[in-house]
Amino acid sequence: MSTAISPDVTSITVDAADGPAEVYLARPDGTPRAGIVLYMDALGLRPQIAEMAARIASWGYGVIAPHVFYRWGTADELSPDGPLMTPEERAAFFGPAVMGRIEGYTAALSRQDDVAWVEALTSELGDVPIGTTGYCFGARLATQLAGELPERVAAVGGWHGAALATDAPDSPHTFLAAATAEFHYGHADHDPSMPPDAVAALGSALSAAGLTHRNEIFAGAAHGYTMKDTSSYGAEHENRHWQALEALYARTF
């Protein structure tokens, strides 16, 4: 079953590890050059994510954006009712329930689901090479996917990522040792979820793994700079991220 979200994006249902999950699907015109897993930010599946999936598809790639919080409810139940265009609205949304989902979606749970997302992508598009991009906590998931499926994932983008290098045994940066992809990270300046020492630790892990990478700090950018439906949006930094991501995929695929 599929439902039209926009002229370019449909919603399909995927059998994930613990039940059915909604997934946005965007197809390119013609044969896809690759398939991209787009990991949403913590605000969830919503028109903003559909727009982003359609833009990547316009470059010639097939894209899926999974509702990774399906264990907690549907995308409509968990995403904001509308844009969060003031800092107060954005802060109010990030209450205990949202933070509980972020913390509750552990590396162990995401590992169970990641195979389902990739299988859904290849089921829809065929045996295509795989890339990924992730936003906010989704950058964590994109990083993990590359370490879980190093033989499949060839390119990773991570934008205003949160907690990518911590002291936890399952910290995302520990997955880099097994990865083979090329990486491009664009960190928000003065982001408390990714301070300078964490950016440096991530860079050290990328270098130690011998991975081709760019690990940049976007000066003056707020956490969430790509999201036009929030008060964190910054047009200059969003455009810089699109240019970097399109170039990454062009080099890889």
Model pLDDT for residues 159-180, shown as the tens digit of each residue: 999 999 999 999 999 999 999 9
Q: How confident is the model at residue 135 (pLDDT cuts 50, 70, 90)?
A: very high
State the CATH number of the domain containing residue 27.
3.40.50.1820
Query: How many domains does the structure of the chain reveal?
Result: 1
The whole-angstrom separation of Cα 241 and Cα 244 is 5
Look at residue 2 in the predicted model and tell me its pLDDT: 81
pLDDT single digits (tens) 196-221: 999 999 999 999 999 999 999 999 99
Q: How confident is the model at residue 1 (pLDDT cuts 50, 70, 90)?
A: low
- Residue 46's nearest CA partner among 20, 15, 74, 14 is 74
Average pLDDT, the chain: 97
- The DSSP bridge partners found for residue 34 are none
Q: Which two tokens stand for residue 106?
A: 């552990």
If one counts every other C-beta atom within 10 angstroms of the C-beta of residue 146, the result is: 27
Identity of residue 48: Q
Q: How confident is the model at residue 138 (pLDDT cuts 50, 70, 90)?
A: very high
Look at residue 5 in the predicted model and tell me its pLDDT: 87
Please state the φ and ψ torsions of residue 95, each to the nearest 5 degrees.
Answer: -90, -170
- Residue 216's nearest CA partner among 238, 244, 193, 236 is 244
Task: Put the strands of the sheet holding 19-26 in their side by side order.
Answer: 2-6, 9-16, 19-26, 62-66, 35-39, 130-135, 153-159, 182-188, 213-218
The Cα angle at residue 46 between residues 120 and 134, in degrees rounded to 5: 60
Identity of residue 216: E
Q: 3-class SS at 84? A: strand
The whole-angstrom separation of Cα 32 and Cα 219 is 34
Determine the structural domain holding residue 129 and report its residue range. Answer: 2-252
